[in-house]
Structure formats: structure tokens, C-alpha cells
Amino acid sequence: MDFTNQTVLVTGSSRGIGLAVAHAFDNAGARVILHGRSAIKDEVINSFKQKPMTLQFDVADAETVEATFKDLYKQEGFEGIDILVNNAGITKDQLVMGMSPADFAQVVNTNLNGTFNVTQPVFKKMIRQKHGVILNMASVVGQMGNVGQANYAASKAGIIGLTKSLAKEGAKRNIRVNAIAPGMIISDMTDALSDKAREAILNEIPLSRFGSIDDVADVALFLAGNDYMTGQTITVDGGLYI
């Protein structure tokens, strides 16, 4: 797929899935905007073919997000965002019996409210542009739930609902909105699993393996390039949620 002359913003793109998605779009010719809650490291910036723009803010801070995008769209020569990938998110796992209201709220505020905070100013501009693509990173946990992740599951289920609503609102202006729901993807979290825990999870996955960050990035490119898909949630989980 060729995304030359298109500008792609990927939130939470300093590492992991977000960075893999950003690299995939860079390799496909797009102009990439990286984002992190802290400054993006030089080695990350230098890993791109085209030097990316960088943004730094907390997606959960609505006022800062609004001010950041107000300034961004005022920059001379900035033509707008063609593709937005809402990937920024956090976890604070705990059984419901021991989960504090603050931990529940923080995860929802970052994952769900943060997705809304970033989407709203970009969506408004896309309405005026009469084109755009938004990809929201959900999770298989938002579809099936998970022990110890009530806050995370609630936030990701909310993202799926937000995706469907945005898709209906944006369709007449040629704005497509889809979600990606990764399952168990190789990461620091999976690396920390005990052999027993790893085996138990793998036994639940029909393909009997964890996915890679590139598996998710490939789906992001597909959804960004397919002009007749909107309002969908594509699950990338090796068959876990069948």
C-alpha cells in the first residue's frame, strides 16, 4: 500500500505496537507524527526513513490536548492529518475487590477519554477536509473481559462503542473509523509471564502462539487503505475470541 503525501499521527508511538504501526506507515511513504507522554528518544526518531514530527502530551489532559492541536493546525505549512491512530493506553491490573476507584478512573481516563480527547479536534478538521481515517486500538479484553482487568476491559469496550458512533457520524463526509482488537501480543508483559502462565494462555489460543506487533501494524495498514470498511472491529488474536 502507498500512503505517500498522507500524514499519519500515531499516539503512544514511542515503543511497542504504536511504534510498529508508525514504522509501517513510514515504510509505506507516509509522513508520520510520533506522540508520547514524555519526549521521544533520538534513537526512535532516527529509526524512520522520513524524519517524523513529534508531539508530547498526556492524552488524558483534555485542556493540554486541545491547546496542542490548536497550535499544530496553526503551524505554517501544516496541511492536516489524514490518518489518526489512537494507540495510547495504560493498564493498572487488579481484581475488582481490591481495585481502587482511582485506578479504575485513571485507566478509563487515559484509554477511553484520552481517545476522545485526541479524536475530537482531529475529527472536526476531517469533517472540513471531507476525508480521513481514524483507527482506534481496542483489545480482545474489551470483547470478552478478563480477570483482574475490569478497568481496562471497560475502557476498551467503550472504545469499540465510540468507534461505531464515530463511523456513523463521519461516513457522509468520507471519514472511516475502525478499531483493532489485539489479543496476546509479544511484549514486556508476555516476556514476564511464568512458563506455567504462558502455557495456560497458549492452550486457549487456537494458533498456539502469541502475535507480534507487526501482525497488528499490518492490519492498521489494511484498514487505512480499504475504502469500504467502517465501523468495524478487527480482532488480531490467533483465534482466542472465537
Give me the catalytic one of 73, 152, 228, 241.
152
Listing DSSP states for 136-196 in one string gives EE--THHHH--TT-HHHHHHHHHHHHHHHHHHHHHGGGTEEEEEEEE-SBSSHHHHTS-HH
Task: Look up 73 and say whether it is catalytic.
Answer: no
Strands 132-137 and 175-182, sheet pairing? parallel
Phi, psi angles (nearest 5°) of residue 55 = -130, 145
With the C-alpha atoms ordered 56, 182, 21, 4, is the resulting torsion angle positive or negative?
negative
237: DSSP letter: S
Listing DSSP states for 27-87 in one string gives HTT-EEEEEESSPPPHHHHTTSSSPPEEEE--TT-HHHHHHHHHHHHHSTT----SEEEE-
Give Cα 105 distance to the centre of its chain: 19
Residues with a catalytic annotation lie at: 152
